[in-house]
């Protein structure tokens, strides 16, 4: 149903996801994965109709089309641009709350980088770090940043960190903006509280 609805509004779900799925991801996975990471129990479960939840290539290669399809419903007139509009509305709030442009930004639960790249667009000078628990999502993020790098040679690639947002291993006071977007609704309340702590 979701795929059909997506394709009706011009999101080429199957085509885009299959093109990503067909790639060899060994290099990206190797470069982002922390093989020693201990996953929180709540994360290793079926989710969003994927048997292995976020820990799968199927989920990783469908994140981008799913975001455009799901967020299309938020503003009826926006259609497939709803995702961009949703991110814009978040950035308006961020910009209204902070006076100067942040230089070091960490995006917790960055997924395949949609929120990281969107923040980078509004703060192009900032050094970006994206943290996520799914090495598959981070592999796609890494691929996307390599593609962007070749298009926009002046923009720095984000650093992708495979870790739990509750325990990133990143140094304290290292960031002047910590962003967490579209993540907490997926977490047990205890995990959200630990992340904020």
Q: Which of 132, 160, 177, 178 binds ligand SAM (CB under 6 A)?
A: 132
Nearest to ligand SAM of 121, 154 (CB atom): 121
Burial class of residue 179 (count of CB atoms within 10 Å of its CB; 0-12, 13-18, 19+): buried
- Output the six-digit token pair for 6: 């997506």
For position 186 contacting ligand SAM by CB under 6 A, the verdict is yes
Nearest to ligand SAM of 157, 168 (CB atom): 168
Minimal distance in Å, beta carbon 67 to ligand SAM? Answer: 6
For position 182 contacting ligand SAM by CB under 6 A, the verdict is yes
b or e along 84-111 (b: 16 or more beta carbons within 10 Å of the residue's beta carbon)? Answer: eebbeeebeebeeeeeeebeebbbbbbb
Minimal distance in Å, beta carbon 129 to ligand SAM? Answer: 12
Site residue total, ligand SAM (CB under 6 A): 23
Minimal distance in Å, beta carbon 96 to ligand SAM? Answer: 19
- Which helix (DSSP H) or strand (DSSP E) does residue 180 occupy? strand 177-180
Binding mask 32-71 for ligand SAM (x = CB under 6 A): --------x--x----------x------------x----
Number of H helices, E strands in the chain: 8, 4
- Output the six-digit token pair for 95: 């910009």
Return the bridge partners of 130, or none: 107, 160
Q: What is the dihedral of CA 35, 149, 18, 138, to 10 degrees?
A: 20
For position 110 contacting ligand SAM by CB under 6 A, the verdict is yes
Binding mask 139-168 for ligand SAM (x = CB under 6 A): -------------------------xxx--
Give 77's Cβ-side CA count (13 Å radius). Answer: 0
Residue nearest to ligand SAM (CB): 109
The contact set with ligand SAM (CB under 6 A) reads 40, 43, 54, 67, 109-111, 114-115, 131-134, 137, 164-166, 181-183, 186-187, 191
């Amino acid at each position: 149903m979701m795929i059909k609805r997506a394709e009706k509004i011009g999101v080429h779900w199957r085509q885009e996801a299959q093109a990503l799925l067909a790639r060899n991801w060994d290099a990206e996975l190797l470069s982002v994965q922390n093989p020693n990471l201990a996953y929180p129990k709540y994360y290793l479960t079926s989710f969003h109709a994927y048997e292995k939840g976020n820990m799968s290539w199927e989920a990783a290669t469908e994140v981008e089309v799913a975001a455009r399809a799901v967020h299309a419903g938020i503003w009826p007139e926006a259609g497939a641009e709803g995702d961009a509009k949703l991110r814009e509305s978040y950035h308006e709030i961020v910009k209204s709350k902070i006076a100067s442009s942040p230089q070091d930004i960490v995006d917790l639960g960055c997924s395949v980088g949609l929120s990281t790249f969107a923040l980078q667009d509004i703060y192009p000078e900032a050094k970006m770090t994206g943290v996520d628990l799914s090495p598959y999502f981070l592999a796609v993020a890494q691929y996307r940043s390599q593609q962007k790098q070749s298009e926009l040679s002046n923009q720095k690639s984000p650093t992708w960190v495979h870790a739990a947002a509750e325990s990133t291993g990143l140094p304290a006071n290292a960031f002047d903006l910590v962003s967490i977007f579209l993540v907490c609704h997926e977490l047990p309340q205890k995990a959200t509280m630990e992340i904020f702590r």
